[in-house]
Amino acid sequence: MANGNLNEEYKDLSDNMRLYTNMRFALLTLYFALTAGLATALFTVAPPLDDSLRFALKIIGVIASGAFGVMEKRAADYWHHFRRRAVDLEKSLGYKQYTDRPTARFLSATNATRVMVWGGVPLWLLAAIFGT
């Protein structure tokens, strides 16, 4: 913002980061609900489902894991983008909220979420290939 209010932009960035944090949590919740539903349908339905339907549900699990992985990646990208801009603004505003935040390169919430969501792809593939 060349002539804008930096404090307002900073507030908007914080709001945007909160939005993407909430979105990421909602995506993870939906992913686990879908995964639990698929697993329940595959392993606890009586009488057992037809083999072709079981295979289709496993493929849906693969596709859903990939789709949620992509959505998580994009939401994380936006969150990190807004955080970098907030750090830039803090230099002008004299703030340190995002500049001095604790960081963890490898053991981060982003990486943990990626492992959980993308980890579903090989698990569902193995289930589809080798059956259960």
Q: Please tell me the total count of domains within the chain.
A: 1
The pTM of the full predicted model, rounded to 2 decimals, is: 0.86
Q: What does pLDDT average to over the chain?
A: 92
pLDDT digits (tens, 9 = 90+) for 5-24: 999 999 999 999 999 999 99
Please state, in angstroms and rounded to a whole number, the distance separating the CA atoms of residues 121 and 126.
9
In this prediction, residue 1 has a pLDDT band, given cuts at 50, 70 and 90, of: very low
- The DSSP call for residue 108 is -
12 domain-assigned? yes
Let me know if residue 14 belongs to a domain.
yes
pLDDT band at 123 (very low <50, low <70, confident <90, very high): very high
What is the residue range of 103's domain? 6-130
36 occurs within a structural domain: yes
DSSP 98: T
Share above pLDDT 90 across residues of the chain, in percent, rounded to a whole number: 81
If one compares 4 and 91, the residue with the highest pLDDT of the two is 91
Give the closest residue to 72 by CA, choosing from 121, 36, 23, 125.
23
Q: What percent of the chain has pLDDT over 70?
A: 97
Tell whether 1 is covered by a domain.
no
115 phi and psi angles, rounded to 5 deg: -60, -45
Say which DSSP state 1 is in.
-
- Residue 111 to residue 84: CA distance in whole angstroms: 18
